[in-house]
Amino acid sequence: MVTDPLRSVIRELEERLMQTHVRNTRALAAPLLAEQFVEFGSSGRTYDKEAVLLALAADTSAAPEVANFSVRQLAPGVVLATYRTVHRDSSGTITRQSLRSSVWREVNGRWQLEFHQGTPTENV
């Protein structure tokens, strides 16, 4: 069972990775990703830590809204976070949404992202 404090920690880490200043600063983003990090992109391509850090450095998009955030424990020190991201334009109209899943592992008292996948969905 995942406690509320752990759920809050994982959500804060997920949202930290969505902040432009973190995404654009390797020294802030790199420690959040495990060395063996893997991402399955919506393009169908697979990305490793280095490829993601390079992409994040160039990303200037605004942080999305996070909805339906949930965390469940897979094993001791390993959790799965699932949620929806919602992007809006300047008028507040939803421009895109994605379902997200992330596997986080605690190593030496620090949580790191091991795996992430984002799947675009219809705007509902």
Domain map (residue ranges) of the chain = 4-121
What pLDDT is recorded for position 66? 96
The CATH class that applies to domain 4-121 reads: alpha beta
Q: State the pLDDT at residue 67.
A: 94
**Which pTM does this prediction carry?**
0.91
pLDDT of residue 3: 81
Which residues, in sequence order, are CB contacts of 27 under 8 Å at separation 6+?
A: none
Looking at residue 124, its pLDDT comes to 60
- Degrees, nearest 5: CA angle 47-42-114: 40
End-to-end CA distance of the chain: 30
- Partnered with residue 104 across adjacent β-strands are 79, 113
pLDDT in single tens digits along all 124 residues of the chain: 678 899 999 999 999 999 999 999 999 999 999 999 999 987 889 999 999 999 999 988 888 999 999 999 999 999 999 999 999 988 988 988 999 999 999 999 999 999 999 999 886 6
Torsions phi, psi for 3 (to 5 deg): -80, 160
* 32 CB-near residues (< 8 Å, 6+ apart): 13, 16, 17, 22, 112, 113
Asked if residue 10 lies in contact with residue 61, where contact means CB atoms within 8 angstroms, the answer is no
State residue 61's pLDDT score.
86
